[in-house]
Every structure is written in structure tokens, then in C-alpha cells.
Chains A and B, each alone.
Chain A
């Protein structure tokens, strides 16, 4: 209580000191881990990048200060996320052992034998240790680059993640990029041309962005997949194809990929077009447009001013959705039974598979944090107003 009070005290000096001590501690821990000889290559690389960024930041007077502050904050956030990644799965009611032994236990009538078997499994999986001990083991392993074994699938989590992530990225990356580009162009066009364009583009985008994405995907599945039979409705490829090198396999990949890609792209287009339209409408009515036009600046140039400025918030939207790429695909993957990370996460939660859940959420947290850090940096580079704010904040 007292410590809390001290931290929350409004004195800027105290706050600053606390922040420095915290970050110094964190960085210290990171360095000790890195030098201890156990850390995996990935961690060392990440740490090297962070340290290099902090060192480089001293070359830039105002922006550097801001950058350092951001990096410290995100490092701290990462540790909090790590703790939550560990803790949250363990708060799910139920026990992984019950699920693993479901079938076996159903056949055992002797309750003491069943309990003995259960206890044996619990001990083997280390679940009888205190939660703190488990946490330290988890983080210790994590820094060695080991994410553990999936309890249910009995495979290394890292291997499962590596095999699932490409599927999610294959759907989300192109649909975010295509949808973002198309959505912004449509939104800008609707705002600029008005009239019939706006009367069509706006309601359609509004529909696409407000209908729950899973409902929309299901409708797409129903119409394009089931009723009209244009696309296969399930999975990432045709399971009957044995050779994974044949052209048939790639065709099958493509046709299975198309429907989730189209659905997701349309959803992204809707949201982006709405956002861009209102931003552009706002910018078109700002006084600098009138002034520039009355100074004789040609329309095309004024339009370029407007759309550059209207773009700014959209850029951060792009970075955010790229960061949320892995997490954002969950619904789509479930609807289309697509074998990506989202579906894997869903299954892991159903099976109370602690290491696998933590692994999935770790990937999600890291992509989110990195994307946010990048937005913070990039946004200052493209918007002078934010740069000023950063300098003041830093």
C-alpha cells in the first residue's frame, strides 16, 4: 500500500526515479539472462536490437529521448504480458490431465487407480508444483528458447506454432494489404466525388464494417461455398492429395485460400473505406483547402494535400491491424476450418493445453507490441504535429 502510494505520488521527480529504477532492473535482468549462456539466439538478437536502438537514440536529442522512453515502456509491457500469458490459461476452469485421460479414465472403474494415474500425470507435467515455481520454470525455459511441449498433442509448441503461423499470415497479410489499399482508395473517392459514388460506396462499406465478421464469413461460406459451390468450404487444402509438390496441390491450396481471403478482404475494405471517407470529408472542409484554392493552387495538388493528411490516421490503423494479424484471424479460421494459429489457439483452449495457449498468446503479444512500437516511431516521422508532441513528451 505504501509502495503503491509512493509510486502514484504526483511528484514528477519520484515518478521519474521509479521509472528509471524499474527499467534499469528490467534491462539488468535481460542482460544477465543474455549473458548467462542459456539464452537462445532469438532472445540475444532481440536484446541486441533493443540495446542498439537505445544507444543510437542518444545521437538524436529530442526524438531519441522519446524513443528510449517508448522502448522502456514496451519492454515493461512485455514482461507484464508474459506473466499474463502464463497466468490466464491456468485460470481456465478444468484440468489438462482430465482431458488427456478422458478416454482412459472412462474405462477405469476403480477410483483409487484412477486417482493414482491422475496424480502420476500431474507430477509428470509438473502441475503439482506451486504456481510461482511453475512460472519461474516457464520463464527460464522461455529464455532458453523453449516453449515446452503441448500437453494434448505431445509435440513441441514451437514446432506447432511454426507450422500454423504461415497459414494465418497467408490469409491475413494479403487481405489486410489489399483491403487497406482498396478501402482507402474507395473511401477517398467517395468523399471527393460525392454523388452516386458516395451513395453506393458508403452504405456498402457501412454494412461490411458493422455486420459481425463471423456472420459475414458464414454468409459467404453459405452462398459462395455451399449454395453456388464456387469454392471448397473446409480446410487449407484437399486432404486426399498425397504429393505436396504437385500442381494439383497448389491449385487446391489456392482454391481453399480464396474464400477466407475474399471474406476477410471485404471486411477490411469496409472498415477502411468508412474511416477514410470521414477523415477525407473532414480534411476537405478545413480552411487550408479554401486558402490554397484561392491562392490559385491547382485542384490536383490541393487534393494531394488533403489525402496525405487524411491518410495519417489510416497508416496507424494499418500498422495496428498488421500487429493484430495473428490474433485477428481467429474467427475467420474457425468459420472456414482453416488450419491457422487462431484455430489452433481455440483448440488449445478447449483442451486446457497450458503451454500451447501460452505459446500462441506469446506470439500474439510480441507482434502486437512490435507493431505498436513501430507505429510510435513511424508516425512521428510522417506527421510533424506528432513529432512536436513527441518532443514535448520525451
Chain B
């Protein structure tokens, strides 16, 4: 088995509206994910993060449709598989998903134990019911959950417990890729921290081979992610290691995004927060040129004229801007006095 768990090539997926218009929410996304790594995907609301995470599951239902591209999971293109194979051998087994609203992710009228059995029976595990429940118990105790969770209905668990139960359930079969779509957005800061640590621990102990972590809370990514992709209007605009993207963003959008974070550090009070004026473009008719152009401080006429492609730097970093990284850094440096 190669060390690349997931390889995505030029993935395009779209929503079809009532009026039969296609809205490309994920428009040509490519990336690779290696064993033991965590990829963070950041971006503002509506940039296509959640759609991307759903699209990666290879399972589409209206109004979301698959456009083109490939998703290689352990070397197999899951988009070429018949649905039954995908469902039985991949979904929940090799690629798992933690939904955004874990609060409602469990059937309220089914005990957790019965749900566990439901899931495991679908995947030809060859386990009998007792073994299935033992497996579930192991997962639960790994996440510091008591055995009694198995006999509970979702309504009888607290928010944090429910969240951890969902994590336990989605990792029952030690998936190669775990996609977590803002798994902590509904939790308070300390519960968030617990969840993050759990996820990291799962990765360390190979309960999960790799992870994609989607969030709009950038400070969170700094602690979790190895790589960060910044997404804007359906495209990746920057790719790099977590440190690089957070402390030294190249793309003007990433730069602006990092400038809008509140970090409880010294000197923060005197630091003025920047915000990004304007709104992302309507993906129904994407304007020609750079998608961020309208909101960019450094816009030039050329930005509107031609579509931007990803530039790859020697160290593997990527960004989508017509300026060179040196030119951008210069502009950022000049801007600082005006900002302070």
C-alpha cells in the first residue's frame, strides 16, 4: 500500500438549481493526502468547504452532482465504482465522515447499540453481534466514553458525549481517511479542545490513517493540521504547511483571512483587526479573471482579464495569484504602517 491515502485530481462538483442552472461549488480541486497527515481546509462560509467534504465521499445525491475529476482512495478511483461497491466497501469503512451538526447525526429513536450493529452488518465484517458490540466498546472507551452509552438513546447523551459518540461510530472500522466537517463548531472551547485531542490521538494510534479537517476557525487548524488549504469560491487559492499558511500567507485572500483572526495574545489589543470587504462572487456565473479580484486590495486590470492558475513553488507551496511571492510580500510589508 502506498503512503498516499487520498489523491484528488481536478474535482468538479456542482449543484443543480430548480432552474437547471449548474453552480460549481467545487471547481477544479486537486490535492494529495499522505498517511498520518492532517489536511486542514479553511475558508469563509459558502466557499465550498462542506460541499468539498461531501464530494470526497464519492456519494452524490440531488441537488449535488458529480462533474469531472477523480478521487483515488488507496489507489482506487471511487468515482468509477458502482454504488453498491462504494457503499459496502468504502463508505464508513475506508472513508468516514463526521457531519457538521453532530447533535442531530444520530437517529433519536434507536439505541446506540442497535445503530452500531446496523452499521457493521453493512460492511461484511464477519463479526457476530457480540464482537460488534465489543468493538464499539473499545472505541467508546478510547474516547473516554462509558459503556452505558451503548444502551442509551441519543437524547440521553450530553452534547459533548454525542459528539464523541459520533466520532466513535464513524471510526468503528479504522478508516483510511476521516473527513471532519467542523466537528467542533457547536461545542464550547474546552470541549473543542478535548475533541481535537481525541482526533489527534486516534491518528497517532492509527485508528485513523489520515484526516481532512474542515473549519472556519483558523486558530484551531494551527494545532491540528499538517497542511492547510485555503479555499475561496470553489477553488483552492493557497496550499502549504500549517505554519507557512498561518504565519506567512502568500495569497492576498489568505493574508486578509489571517489578518481577521483574534488571537488572545499580548499586543492583540493594539493590533487592529482587518476584515475583507465585499462578498464572494456568485458561482452561478463566475466572472472572468481572478475570483478574488473584486475584493482584493492589490487589484490590477490584468487580474480581471485572465483566469489564475496555481503557481507551485520549489518547496511545494502553491498559490493562485498573478504576482510573484516576492512582490506580494513587498506589498504586505508596505501595508503594515497603514494598518497599525
Interface residue ranges, A against B (CB under 8 Å): 286-288, 290-298, 301, 305, 308-309, 312, 383-385, 388
Contacts and interface: CB of A to CB of B under 8 A. Distances in A.
In the A-B complex, list the 8 residue pairs whose CB atoms are closest, starting with the nearest: A295-B92, A296-B91, A296-B92, A287-B104, A291-B105, A384-B153, A294-B97, A288-B107
A288 B122 contact: no
Given A288-B107, A385-B153, A385-B155, A293 B59 contact: yes
A297 B110 CA distance: 14
B105 A287 contact: yes
18 contacts: A287-B100, A287-B101, A287-B103, A288-B104, A292-B107, A293-B59, A293-B91, A294-B96, A295-B97, A295-B170, A296-B119, A297-B122, A305-B107, A309-B109, A384-B108, A384-B156, A385-B153, A388-B155
Nearest to B57: A294
Given A292-B118, A305-B110, A388-B156, 6 more contacts: A291-B170, A293-B91, A294-B92, A296-B92, A296-B93, A384-B108
Contacts of B101: 287
A288 B110 CA distance: 11
Contacts of A305: 107, 109-110
B71 interface: no
A323 to B, nearest CB: 24
A118 B93 CA distance: 88
Contacts of B166: 291
B222 interface: no
A297 B119 contact: yes
A296 B96 CA distance: 9
Contacts of A297: 92, 118-119, 122
A227 B73 CA distance: 69
A384 B156 CA distance: 9
Given A290-B99, A385-B155, A296 B88 contact: yes
B108 A288 contact: yes
Contacts of A296: 87-88, 90-93, 119, 122-123
A295 B107 contact: no
B199 interface: no
Interface string B144-175: 00000000010110000000001001100000
Nearest to B166: A291
A296 B92 CA distance: 6
B88 A291 contact: no
Contacts, number: 78
B106 interface: yes
B157 to A, nearest CB: 11
B114 to A, nearest CB: 11
A295 B106 CA distance: 11
Contacts of B57: 294
Nearest to B104: A287
B283 to A, nearest CB: 22
Contact of B109 (A293, A294, A295, A308): A308
Contact of B108 (A293, A301, A385): A385
Contacts of B102: 287
Most buried by B among A287, A291, A292, A388: A291
Contacts of A298: 87, 122
A210 B122 CA distance: 44
Contacts of B87: 296, 298
A384 B108 CA distance: 8
A297 B91 CA distance: 9
Given A293-B59, A295-B91, A388-B155, A309 B108 contact: yes
A385 B108 CA distance: 7
A287 B99 contact: yes
B107 A301 contact: no
A309 B100 CA distance: 22
Contacts of A286: 104
Nearest to B154: A288
Contacts of B92: 294-297
Contacts of A309: 107-109
Interface string B47-82: 000000000010101000000000000000000000
B122 A291 contact: no
B57 to A, nearest CB: 6
B105 to A, nearest CB: 4
B253 to A, nearest CB: 29
Contacts of B91: 293-296
A291 B106 contact: yes
A286 B104 CA distance: 7
A297 B96 CA distance: 12
Given A294-B92, A295-B96, A383 B106 contact: no
Contacts of B156: 384, 388
A383 B106 CA distance: 15
A237 B59 CA distance: 60
A293 B118 CA distance: 11
Contact of A295 (B61, B104, B169): B169
B95 to A, nearest CB: 9
A296 B119 CA distance: 7
Nearest to A306: B107
Interface in B13-61: 57, 59, 61
A287 B110 CA distance: 14
A133 B156 CA distance: 54
A287 to B, nearest CB: 4
A292 B116 CA distance: 11
Most buried by B among A286, A290, A312, A388: A290
Contacts of B104: 286-288
Most buried by B among A286, A288, A295, A384: A295
Contacts of A295: 91-92, 96-97, 119, 122, 169-170
Nearest to A287: B104
A301 B59 contact: no
A254 B104 CA distance: 50
A297 B97 CA distance: 13
Contacts of A383: 109
Contacts of B155: 384-385, 388
Contacts of A292: 107, 118
A301 B122 CA distance: 10
A301 B118 contact: yes
A309 to B, nearest CB: 6
Nearest to B91: A296
Nearest to A387: B153
A213 B104 CA distance: 39
Contacts of A384: 108-109, 153, 155-156
